[in-house]
Amino acid sequence: MKVGLVTPQYAPQFEGGTESVVRAQARELAALGHAVRIVSGTDRLHAGQDLLATEVDGLPVRFVPRTPDEPYDLALERPRVLALVLELLSDVDVVHLHHWSTLDGGLVRRLAPRVPVVVTLHDLFTTCPRFFRVPFGLVESCPPPGSFETCVVCLTPDAPGVAPELLHTGLAARMASFAAELEAAALVLTPSRSHQQNLAPHLAVDARWRVLPHGLGRELGARASAAWDGTGELRLVYLGHRTAVKGIRDLALALGGLPPELESRVRLDAFGDELDPGLDAELTRCAGAARLRFHAPYGPAELGQLLRAEGPFHLAAAPSRVAESYGLVVDEALALGLPTWVSDRGAPQERIGAAGLVLPAEDPAAWTRAFATIFAHPERLEVQRGAAAATVRTARDAARELSQLYQSLLHSA
């Protein structure tokens, strides 16, 4: 089967969460015998070539750069880009679209008459131009479905000189466009139940919608965890971007809220990059006597080796303030044998079970109490560590399910 994977960006130019999922998916689908082609948008400026060709993991990748008159906007109408993508996908048997943001907002409707199109919704982009429905600037909360007045206020700083009524009209048209895109799709996938539930008030969820978790993209090797008996240093791990919306400031405040004799017995290693300028210095202040260590961004294949070299560790924390659609760092931590504490926002809480705790987001005091409890009862952490040894879902598992879904769509066409 010839499978076209469409993604907003791709390695080696950029690889965030969505891109790493698609890359793992591409490798595993190819391993199952499918002919995989990746078509990607890019934020690199057009420099005279409509297409940039490369190979990643032995698979063909075609980048479609935008010209200066094809910016990111509400309409996402880029006829030149659309025509190029359609041509690149002209001979595939099935298309799996992972995002529109750097490409064109009408891809599904143009492709669907001749080929089954599967869409995975990785974020809240179909309901929010800022991708995540996180209030910005003067906005305190997102509006109910069908209302755009608050969205206009949220977007105004990025649209100087644009009249509010034009923004309102554009937002309404954008919502209608994405509803039509999803209606044209043969199948709509979300990586978690909670993400589907977050989208449901805004989009018409029906029988074509399925939950298909991403799974771990790469083998991480031996465990990086160790038992902790309540004496000595408690070593924590935070994985991924350091930014306020991911809750790492709340984590630092929780550590700084411990009694002084416990604060000094905690070490937090943060692996990733500082996205909010000055945040690392603030985290150090918030954490009091707890020891913080910041490490450079890592590639997925490097993570296990890095943690084993710096560890062993006793606990991972993912205190996000936003409704995560999946949370790959949770799979990574569990695969390395680490009990994992997550916030009660979004998908990670669906996969923790007995292998950690689910704690309130934006509530450092609740996290402080949880840390104090394991200092008093370290055996509880060891029970969680035992549960973390359970098998973690992989991208290979997901690819097998995708292959079956693609085949069923072709047979029913």
Q: pLDDT confidence of 312, banded at 50, 70, 90?
A: very high
Listed residue (411, 409, 413, 412) closest to 119, CA to CA = 409
CB neighbours of 84 closer than 8 A, spacing ≥ 6? 50, 51, 64
Least confident of 43-57, 65-79, 110-124, 379-393: 379-393
| pTM for this predicted structure | 0.90
**Dihedral-angle region of residue 133 (phi above 0 means left; psi in -120 to 50 means alpha; beta otherwise):** left
Q: What pLDDT shows up at residue 16? A: 82
Neighbour-count burial of 83, counting CB atoms closer than 10 A to its CB (0-12 exposed, 13-18 middle, 19+ buried): middle
* pLDDT digits 0-9 by tens, 177-207: 999 999 999 999 999 999 999 999 999 999 9
Q: Six-digit token pair at 350?
A: 């669906």
CB neighbours of 198 closer than 8 A, spacing ≥ 6? 124, 133, 323, 325, 346
* pLDDT digits 0-9 by tens, 257-307: 999 999 999 999 999 999 999 999 999 999 999 999 999 988 777 899 999
What's the CA gap between 3 and 24, in Å, rounded?
Answer: 14
Residue 389 has pLDDT above 80, yes or no: no
Q: What pLDDT shows up at residue 171? A: 96
Q: pLDDT confidence of 136, banded at 50, 70, 90?
A: confident
**Taking residues 68-77, what's their average pLDDT?**
93
Q: Domains plus CATH for the chain?
A: 2-215+395-412 (3.40.50.2000), 234-387 (3.40.50.2000)
> CB under 8 Å, gap of 24 or more: what pairs does 29-33 form?
29/3, 29/5, 29/399, 29/402, 29/403, 30/57, 30/58, 30/59, 31/396, 31/399, 32/399, 32/400, 32/403
Q: Six-digit token pair at 155?
A: 């977007």
Q: Using alpha carbons only, give the angle 46, 24, 271 rounded to the nearest 5 degrees.
A: 85
Q: Six-digit token pair at 188?
A: 């709509």
What's the CA gap between 50 and 85, in Å, rounded?
Answer: 11
Q: Would you say 217 and 301 are in contact if contact means Cβ atoms under 8 Å apart?
A: no
Strands (DSSP E) contained in 8-73 are 35-41, 52-56, 59-64
**Which residue did the predictor score with more confidence, 407 or 222?**
407
Neighbour-count burial of 199, counting CB atoms closer than 10 A to its CB (0-12 exposed, 13-18 middle, 19+ buried): buried
**In this prediction, what percent of the chain has a pLDDT beyond 90?**
87
Q: pLDDT confidence of 134, banded at 50, 70, 90?
A: confident
Q: pLDDT confidence of 133, banded at 50, 70, 90?
A: confident
- The residue behind tokens 């909010």 is 276
DSSP symbols for 63-87: EEPPPTTS---SS---HHHHHHHHH
**In this prediction, what percent of the chain has a pLDDT beyond 70?**
100
Residue 139 has pLDDT above 90, yes or no: no
Residue 50 has pLDDT above 80, yes or no: yes
Q: Would you say 20 and 326 are in contact if contact means Cβ atoms under 8 Å apart?
A: no
CB neighbours of 160 closer than 8 A, spacing ≥ 6? none
